[in-house]
Structure 1
Amino acid sequence: MPKFFNPPTVAKPSSNFSHGVTVPAGARRLIMSGQVGMRLDGTICEGIEAQTEQVFDNILALIDAAGMKKTDLVKIVTYCISPDHLAKVREVRSRKLGDHAPASTLLIISALANPKFLIEVEAEAVSEG
């Protein structure tokens, strides 16, 4: 299915991600809106660790609902409001994704849609068509 790669002609990734992913023709795509640290009941988790846990729980729930697996996750884009949060974000991501390394982009931005949100992650998964 998707093939993750880091060619020797590009610097080694600085954390657990892949520089590229190829997707075969006819694959089924799940494109996810940005997920935030909001629980099912609409409450917002407190702190970066709890919000990041909820973000990845939401992403994994969407993947599961689409009949896909965690290893079908091919791309994530993380928006974080503080560089001070990065260590905790990477720790939680590693806990949730294990050694799976999708293509990844990380941006530090000044704010998200709700001032209580500390992180938002967009994601895309691909599986056999």
Structure 2
Amino acid sequence: MITHHNPAAVYPPAGPYSHGVELAGFSRLLWISGTMGLAPDGAAADDFEAQCEQVWANIGAVLDGAGMTWANLVKVTCFLGDRRDRDVNAAIRNRVLGDHKVAVTVVAVNLLDPAWKLEIEALAAV
């Protein structure tokens, strides 16, 4: 069971996420490694939006391979190569996840390969 915690003693979430996500009675955890916007052939698109769409497609494929769905996600960490891509990242994440509000962290970093525009890791539970 997943319970969301947004206590009145903490500022309201600045977007569609939860300050805390509690897991109770879970039987399986799935850690999804940092995932880049690479197509199955290893190629990366040149633009951020296409890479972001591919990252979420890759995460969806890992979830599916584990017999899980977006509803099983509990935590997402987004590593942006350029902080100016924050809004596009949020818009795509929000479209993919819909009303499902996970715990989210977004940071701007220097990614390992300069061709990569972002990397996302996730945690899912059943």
Please indicate, yes or no, whether the TM-score normalized by the shorter chain is above 0.5. yes
**Deviation of residue 5 (structure 1)?**
2.2
In structure 2, the residue matched to 1:123 is: 122
Match of 1:5 in 2: 5
Match of 2:52 in 1: 52
SS of the residue corresponding to residue 115 of structure 1 reads coil
The aligned counterpart of 1:98 is 98
Structure 1 runs of 4+ off > 2 angstroms? none
Q: Percent identity?
A: 37
With normalisation by structure 1, the TM-score equals 0.93
What is the distance in 1 between the residues matched to 2:111 and 2:83?
14
Q: Secondary structure at the match of 1:71?
A: helix
How big is the alpha-carbon RMSD for the aligned residues of Structure 1 and Structure 2? 1.1
User: TM-score by structure 2 length?
Assistant: 0.95
Q: How many residues align?
A: 126
Deviations 1:11-69 (A, max 9, x none): 11111111111112452000010011000111112211111111111111111110112
Per the alignment, residue 75 of structure 1 pairs with 75
SS of match in other structure, 1:92: helix
- Give 2:17's aligned residue: 17
Question: Counterpart of 1:98 in structure 2: which amino acid?
Answer: G
CA distance in 1, matches of 2:76, 2:53: 15
More deviation in 8-17 or 117-126? 8-17
Q: Check the 8 A contact 2:26/2:125 in 1, yes or no.
A: no
What amino acid does structure 1 have at the position aligned with 2:43? T
